Structures are given as C-alpha cells and as structure tokens.
Amino acid sequence: MNLHNRILMTGAAGGLGTAMRGRLKSNCNLLRLSDRLPFGPAADREEVVVADLADAAAVMEMVQGVDAIVHFGGVSVESPFEPILKGNILGAYNLYEAARKQGVKRIIFASSNHVTGFYRQSETIDADNPPRPDGLYGLSKAFGEDLARLYFDRYGIETACVRIGSSFPEPKDRRMLATWISFDDLHRLISACLSTPVLGHTIIFGMSNNAVTWWDNSRARHVGYVPKDSSDVFRDAVYAKTSAPDLSDAAVQFQGGMFVRTGPFNQ
C-alpha cells in the first residue's frame, strides 16, 4: 500500500538495502536512499543522500521531509566495538533524535535475531522473552530496541523492531531452515509495518512461513504480516549439501549460530 509520500531507507548500499530498493518504491511516491559512502546516482522516483550515521548534523538533514524511515544502516556483522558504537549505537540515537525534531512518527528498525542468540535451538521464544544477545552486534540491536521504546513512550514515535533472521535468495545451511526470510516476505513485513493503523512499539521476528522455527510472532498479530514463502522447499537440497550437525558445537546448540563463538572478545 502506498500511504507515504517520501520514505527514507538507510543502508541502501548493503545487501538488504539493495534487495529492498526496487520493492519499496511501491510503498511511496519518492524513495530517499542513504548510505555512508557514495553508491551511485538516483534512479526514477529516488533521491540519494550520502551521510554518516555518526554525524548528527548530516542525519538531521537526511531525515528532513520524510514521512517514515526504514533503517537498515549501520554495522551488520560482529565486529570490534568502536565501529558498532558509531554506526549502531550513536547512529541509532542520531536517527531517533532527528526523527523527533523533524516530526517523523513511524520507523521500521532492522533489529536482528542476534538480540536473542543465546536462547537454545530447542526453545521457542516470543517478544516477551528478555534479550540474550550473542555478541556486540546483538547488544547494539538490543540497545536500538530499547531506544525505540523510549522514543515511543516519551514522544509517540512508533517503531517496528524487526528481528531479521537470515534474508537471502535461499537458505544456505540447516540453521537457516529455521531463520530464513525471503526478500519478498521481508518486503511484505515492512509493508505491513508501514501500513498497519496502529503500530506502537512492536517487536516482530522476521521469518518466512518455515515449518521449523524458534520464534512465535503471536504478540505482533496486529501488524498483519502474512508470509507467503517457506524454507521447506529447500530442505532436501540443504540436507544433501550439508553434514549432520555436531550437537556438542555451541553454534548448533544456540539460536545465534556462529555468532555465539565469534567476535573480538574471543581474541
């Protein structure tokens, strides 16, 4: 549904930003795209802004005149703390402050399944389970979710904290049979969050209609997200190209996969 004149999408040069760039044009009249470094010219019905999320003045200008924000920007993998601090923590604060001052009332925040990565794969959790981040990246996304809560409670800015699982053309391994979300389903989810009448502060897990799942989205039914794709059609191929899991491996025991045993604090 096209309910917005101008939507801002940060992180436009990243993997998900690239995948959503064409799709999000159906949700607005004009799509403003932003990333930290130059990434090419604007296409039809696009605007391009180069801005570092750690630069408050640049973010303030970037947000001016938009009706809603889809926030993919920042560091998207486990890394040392300094870039995460600048991109994901300071950057998120700058974005919400700019949204408050510019009067933007709805944000789709790309959170991550790594906010809850230290729950076991034998557990099913929902939005009421407390965060158990599996690294500094997951920790920064937990901060973003709390920041969004503060700005909703104090200023009425609605946010969907979308805990994205694994969004690729198809699942790459057995873990992704549970965490996979297709690009089309991710767009359906973002569209639902942009168009639902009352969003509030909502945590929703970004997953397709997979038979195996660790996440329960019953707390977010008001969003109206109905996935149409499933990892199940890839199951036989994934099993054929991967070996049986080692149940003593922490990456197999916990929902965060490899993130639970990688990171700068292990060096």
Residues with catalytic annotation? 137
For the sheet with 68-71, list strands across it.
46-50, 28-35, 4-10, 68-71, 106-112, 158-164, 201-206
CA distance 267 to 263: 7
How far is residue 258's CA from residue 267's CA, in Å, rounded to a whole number?
15
- Determine phi and psi for 215, rounding to 5 degrees: -125, 140
Reduce the DSSP state of residue 114 to 3 states and report it.
Answer: helix
Q: Which residue, among 254, 242, 259, 243, has the nearest Cα to 122 in the 3D structure?
A: 254
Amino acid at 55: D
DSSP state at residue 162: E
How many other C-beta atoms are found inside a 10 Å radius of the C-beta of residue 162?
A: 27
Rounded Cα distance between 214 and 138, Å, is: 17
User: Is 9 in contact with 20 (CB distance < 8 Å)?
Assistant: yes
